[in-house]
Each structure stands twice: as structure tokens, then as C-alpha cells.
Amino acid sequence: MSMQYFGSCPAGEVHELTISNGRGLEAKVLSLGATLRSLLVTDESGRRRDVVLGYDSAEEYFFGEAYFGATVGRFCNRIAAPGFELDGKCFVLPPNEGKNQLHGGPFGFSRQIWTPLPAGEDRAVFRLISPDGDMGFPGNLMVQVTYRLTEESLVIEYEAETDAPTVLNLTNHSYFNLSGHESGSVGGHRLKLTADFFTPTDEQMIPTGEIRPVSGSVLDLRTEKTVGELISAPELKTTQGLDHNFVLSGSDAVPAAWLKAPDGTLSAEVYTDRPAIQVYTAGFLGNVPGKNGAVYADHQGICLETQGFPDAVHHPNFPSPVLRAGEVWRSRTEYRFRGASRVRRRKAVMIRI
């Protein structure tokens, strides 16, 4: 692992850590937001490509609204109102999307400086102390995120502890483009999910509380579809493609998602112990200046955000997001890369809700 100064922003000085598995897989991670800035992957033909979107400066990461590569919290996705009740106490959260809170609030984890910890050549470890009242959330929270490279995977591991009851929902908000971050639309990518259900939302993207089968709908991705089919689907016009929370149906030994590049030389499988995955095909990205002079338009990346259910604080039928003192919250997500022709097929173990 190497570390160098990357720049400064209102949050402070930002450093970039570079890790490698010594076999062609290399990642660059920033202390601002514990953010994955670059991920170099070698495809089946031997070509190396950077498969995540990003910025070139610390200020762009701080002020940008796309959350490129960020560790998102204290509660990723959306909380309505915003606020919630926990153990008879009401907590009001600062909104940053209309009257609701998105991705932890206006100065959530993605806009805070994390502390790098000593680690090996193939891993980067970051720690953040989120004080009681940070963005309205109760409890002093310690969060640790580890990025680790294996022979063919990027593994992200999370750990958290609190001194008082709180709520927690962490994810990584990378935008993937397996053809390369600067290569244009992901419409030609193919996508498959191990998900029998999804959680419908209202016009503000807040879950209604229903857990609905995907069967018979455009959201049935148990058989792979091109991302372009989803982007152009009339039923998904409001969200301009996917921006949906899917309820995962398999175990953590089964890929939650498969994504394949159009040229067939690279694929990604996502494994996780989280109960859901938000799939966002970047329909509202806009023309954003990106890395190395690239300009990212709508649909030039796809987010595969493993997570708990959005707005779970208001829906008792959703998996509980509550973390209490004395408990240790741990989670693991793996992004496994290889040539599409070498993808091993696994039969999903389906769990009915």
C-alpha cells in the first residue's frame, strides 16, 4: 500500500491510498468518504481498464452530488420526513432531498475525512468516529471500512459499534462501467439479479412498505436483460431506467447480481450478506466532468449498492436497521471480476418472504 496527498477540500486534507494484488487488480481509495476512486481490472484479453467512474479533484468529490465511489452512511438511501422514533425518542434529521434525507444527510459519511489505518499491500483500512447527533443520528458511532483485493475480487468489509441505540445502513456507491469509465453508455451491458421481490416507492422514492413480487414485471431480472432494455422501458420512464431496491433471494454464497460487458471479455459477480441491493442505472447523472477529461452523461454507469431496506425506520415489516450498544455490526460485499465465458453458474437457493 502506498499513500500520497490528493488535495484539499472544506473537510480537510485528502490522501489517496493505492493497493494491489500483484496480479493486475489495483484500487485507489480516498480518505474523503473512504471513496473508491479507481479500480483497474484486467479482462480476458489482457487489457486493463478502470471500471469505476470518478473525479480528478478533492473539491469535486466534496461538492459533487453523484456520490462516486463513496462509503455512504450513517443511513444510505432514503429516510422519509426526515426523522424517526427509536425507543420512544424522536430524532429529527436534516433533509437534503426535498423534505427527506438521502445517503446520510448533507454532510454524511461521504463528505467526511476518514482516518487511514496501517494495512498490507493488498488492503486499505479506514476508520471514522461519528459523534452523537451527527446529521441528527443518536449515539457515538465507530465505523471501520476495509478494502481488500484477492486474486480476482474487490472485497469491502464494514464494522461498526455504538454506545447508544442508533440506526445504520452502509453501502458503497460506485458506478461501474465494465467497458471502462470513459467508454459511454452501459446500455449494452447485461444484468441479472437473484431477487424475487422489490420494494415499490411513491413519487418521492420513499418505500410504501409493500414487498412486491417481480414476477410478470419489467423488474424480473432473474433472467438476464440488457441495461438498454431497462433504460427504454415505458414502465421505468419516471426513474429513467432502474433506481429500485431489490430484495435478495439467495444466500451470500450465491451472486446477488451479475453484470457483463458488451464485448464479453469482462464480467462482475456481486456477493453480499445484506438483504437487498439498490440498482441505479444513472438516469439522472447529467453531464458531469469526470476523470482524465471524461464527461459522464446519463446511463454511463450502473450502481450495485448492497444495503438494508430504504426507510426501514418507518416499516416494521422490513429488516430492522437498529444497532444497540454492545453489538458489533459487520457486513461483507465482494465484487468478483473475470471473463464472461468463465462465469460459473450457480443455482440460487430461493428464500420466500
Residues forming the active site: 173, 305
Report the first-to-last Cα separation within the chain, whole angstroms.
43
The Cα–Cα gap between 174 and 196 comes to 24
Amino acid at 78: R
Q: What is the DSSP string of 320-336?
A: P-EE-TT--EEEEEEEE
Q: Which residues is 159 bridged to in the sheet?
A: 144, 330
Q: Which residues is 117 bridged to in the sheet?
A: 125
Amino acid at 165: P
Helix (H/G/I), strand (E/B), else coil: 152: coil
CB 137 within 8 A of CB 74: yes
Is the Cα dihedral 339, 340, 342, 345 positive or negative?
A: positive
Cβ-based neighbours of 318, under 8 Å, separated by 6 or more? 199, 207, 209, 308, 309, 311, 312
The Cα–Cα gap between 244 and 103 comes to 15
Cβ-based neighbours of 1, under 8 Å, separated by 6 or more? 17, 18, 19, 119, 120, 121, 122, 123, 124
Question: Could you identify the residue written with the cell 441505479?
Answer: 280
The Cα–Cα gap between 71 and 127 comes to 11
Q: Of 234, 231, 232, which is closest to residue 242 (Cα–Cα)?
A: 231
How many other C-beta atoms are found inside a 10 Å radius of the C-beta of residue 346?
13
Task: Tally the residues of the chain.
Answer: 353
